[in-house]
Structure 1
Amino acid sequence: MNEGHEEPGTGAGGDFEEQLRELLAEDAHTIRPAPVPFPAIRRRGTIERRRRVAAVGAALVTLAALPVGAYALADEGTGGNTVASAPSGSATPRTPATPSAAPTGPARPATEDQLLDGITFRQAVDGLEKCLAYDRSHTGGPSGLRTDLGAAEEYRIILAMNSTGDSNAPGNGMYVVAVKERPKETRLICTVKDGKAKGLNTAVGSDDVPGAGPVVADINGGRLYQQSVLDRGKWTLPFRWSVIGTVEPSVARVTVSYGGATSRAALDHGWFVTSGVLDRQVTLAPHIRGYDADGKLVYDSDEDKTYDKRLP
């Protein structure tokens, strides 16, 4: 009844099934995924994280290098803007910046040695401003005939020093000398005492006269180096003095001898300024000499017929 029928796994069919099982087993082994390479994955992940960190770091460096600007953060809910940060001083504006205002006030002297006796530039400026205000309030005649001296910022201060009172003008104070070129050459000798302007000597126009040399002492500068004729022979000592005047561009050096001492003048935009202190009475005016760049004497006040060699 069962003849010709074989049990599974026996006979020729059994051999085939056995072979098939072996093949399936081998195929199953062949297609089974290999173990996950966790070390390799971890290493690759570490590399990727480092790359991302490096990229973020580079972006932060780039942002740090950019100028800090004002960023408007739009709030869609309110339609308003919030300023995240203000522009830094180094930021480059998108629109041209408004030019800064030109510095106000008079120009400084060429050297600090022209501000004497501890007088500061600010104090000298204050004195000049007070004297110009004093001039505006004292017309000295019909206003139509008065010369407008202008504003302080038009001037250059070339000298500030203590002033010594005398019988004609009692009380010590301060002299401020200022000059300007335009619209007319102007020189001011301003006297300040007790914080108030007490006098102003002005010269408008050039002191040059026909035959004048390359050095010209200021025609009214005597008040800076002498005391009143009322006090002849009995000056108040020690006495701070100064000599001012104009020089041509060819003059490279000016010296002034007074009371037995010689000093070199400062050259300041066409002016010379020198100073010293007398400790004895004198009768001779300052002796002025000018030299060119080669050291050649080009001016000597002793040879100048327009210069008074003796004091009044």
Structure 2
Amino acid sequence: MSGEQEWDVEERMRDLLAEDAYTIQPSPVPYPAIRRRGVSERRRRVAIAGAALVALGALPVGAYALGGAERGGSDTAAPRPTAGAAQRTATSAPPATPAAPAGPARPATDGQLLDGIGFAQAAHGLQQCLDYDEKREKALPMGSAAPADDGLGKASDYRIILAMHSTGDSNAPGDGFFVVAVKEQPRQTRLICTIRDGAAQGLNTSVGGTAGDTAQPVHADINSGKLYQQSVLDKGHWKLPFRWGLIGTVEPSVAKVTVDYGDGSSDAALDHGWFVAAGTLGRQVTRAPHVKGYDTAGKLVYDSDRDESYEKTLP
């Protein structure tokens, strides 16, 4: 083949290759379609994120955290309270306060709480007395005593009928105050306790009522002498003035009780079957309080001077 022919063949080949290049040129990129698809995808993601925020906002007090595999747990959602929620919970739900133990019942009249002794102080004194008795029973040697099934019971079993100043004497030095309380169940019980120097210092109890062998409408408590007399060691040398008290039981037919003692007289308070009298002595005495009882018509139905079982003089 001559040189001219070779040049024609080469020229022809270049023309054919150029035509093929234009033939296989790719079609233009569809930019509008791609843009529409991208905008649609962004809107879908925004909608999903918005729905997730709404769902989290609807939760009352908690967010969710994934339990990590390092704690040995599964990757499940667990509630985690927020700091604000914990603070609101602590504010709205304060810790419960233990209920205070029930106390005794009040006396029928305020006049049975004497010498500035309030009911709260008297009730606290009664509890001290009961605690004192319980400790005393526990300290006794085994088999030396046969205490009652439930001891003296709880303060809520009692009703306080008298609280008054106590005057110390040679047998029990130091002043303080008396608390007198009674209960009816499971058996009638009366206790007189002395509070001195902020603690229970002596306890006198009587079980089974104050009635003697004779059927009398008024029964003075013959074991309550510590309320109206000083120690026999101080006979003739009492500390004066001297606050005194006298208690006992009355039948329902009795409407009034009076007590004369030394140079004073007292109309007793009637409190659920008990009478409570008190006064102040300004001089030394040798005779016991003089007790009288009257019915609703004012008729005298009891006179301690006529009661053979009543001790009319002091020891």
Give the TM-score band, short-chain normalised.
Answer: 0.5 to 0.7
Aligned residues: 221
Gaps in structure 1 of 5+ consecutive residues: 1-74, 83-100
Secondary structure at the aligned position of 1:305 is classed as coil
Post-superposition offset of 1:143 = 7.2
Corresponding residue for residue 173 of structure 2: 170
Corresponding residue for residue 146 of structure 1: 147
- Looking at structure 2, the residues matched to 103 and 292 of structure 1 have their Cα atoms a distance apart, in angstroms, of 39
Corresponding residue for residue 22 of structure 2: none
Q: Is the 8 A contact 2:114 2:163 kept in 1?
A: yes
Query: What amino acid maps onto 1:169 in structure 2?
Result: A
Query: What amino acid maps onto 2:236 in structure 1?
Result: G
Query: What amino acid maps onto 1:131 in structure 2?
Result: C
- Looking at structure 2, the residues matched to 242 and 163 of structure 1 have their Cα atoms a distance apart, in angstroms, of 10
- Looking at structure 2, the residues matched to 144 and 243 of structure 1 have their Cα atoms a distance apart, in angstroms, of 30
Query: What amino acid maps onto 2:248 in structure 1?
Result: G
Post-superposition offset of 1:103 = 8.3
Structure 2 length-normalised TM: 0.67
What does residue range 109-188 of structure 1 map to in structure 2 within 5 Å? 109-139=107-137, 142=143, 145-147=146-148, 148-188=151-191
What's the CA shift string for 1:201-257, capped at 9, x where partnerless? 001112222223010011211110000111111100000000000001100000000
266, 269, 272: which one pairs with 1:266? 269
- Looking at structure 1, the residues matched to 229 and 219 of structure 2 have their Cα atoms a distance apart, in angstroms, of 18
Question: Does 1:255 pair with 2:258?
Answer: yes
Query: What amino acid maps onto 1:241 in structure 2?
Result: W
* Identical columns (%): 64
- Looking at structure 1, the residues matched to 199 and 101 of structure 2 have their Cα atoms a distance apart, in angstroms, of 26
- Looking at structure 2, the residues matched to 146 and 286 of structure 1 have their Cα atoms a distance apart, in angstroms, of 33
Query: What amino acid maps onto 2:306 in structure 1?
Result: E
- Looking at structure 2, the residues matched to 293 and 103 of structure 1 have their Cα atoms a distance apart, in angstroms, of 39
Post-superposition offset of 1:265 = 0.2
- Looking at structure 2, the residues matched to 143 and 156 of structure 1 have their Cα atoms a distance apart, in angstroms, of 30
- Looking at structure 1, the residues matched to 100 and 233 of structure 2 have their Cα atoms a distance apart, in angstroms, of 47
- Looking at structure 1, the residues matched to 152 and 113 of structure 2 have their Cα atoms a distance apart, in angstroms, of 23
What's the CA shift string for 1:99-135, capped at 9, x where partnerless? xx89820000100100000001111011111111110
Corresponding residue for residue 51 of structure 1: none
Q: Is the 8 A contact 2:263 2:282 kept in 1?
A: no
- Looking at structure 2, the residues matched to 134 and 157 of structure 1 have their Cα atoms a distance apart, in angstroms, of 17
- Looking at structure 2, the residues matched to 80 and 154 of structure 1 have their Cα atoms a distance apart, in angstroms, of 52
294, 299, 304: which one pairs with 2:302? 299
Query: What amino acid maps onto 2:123 in structure 1?
Result: V
Change (3 A) 1:197 1:305: same
What's the CA shift string for 1:51-85, capped at 9, x where partnerless? xxxxxxxxxxxxxxxxxxxxxxxx87644459xxx
Corresponding residue for residue 197 of structure 2: 194
Query: What amino acid maps onto 2:194 in structure 1?
Result: T
Q: Is the 8 A contact 2:263 2:283 kept in 1?
A: no
- Looking at structure 1, the residues matched to 144 and 152 of structure 2 have their Cα atoms a distance apart, in angstroms, of 13
- Looking at structure 2, the residues matched to 174 and 155 of structure 1 have their Cα atoms a distance apart, in angstroms, of 18
Corresponding residue for residue 106 of structure 1: 104
Runs of 4+ in 1 over 6 A off after TM superposition: none
Secondary structure at the aligned position of 2:254 is classed as coil
What does residue range 198-213 of structure 1 map to in structure 2 within 5 Å? 198-213=201-216
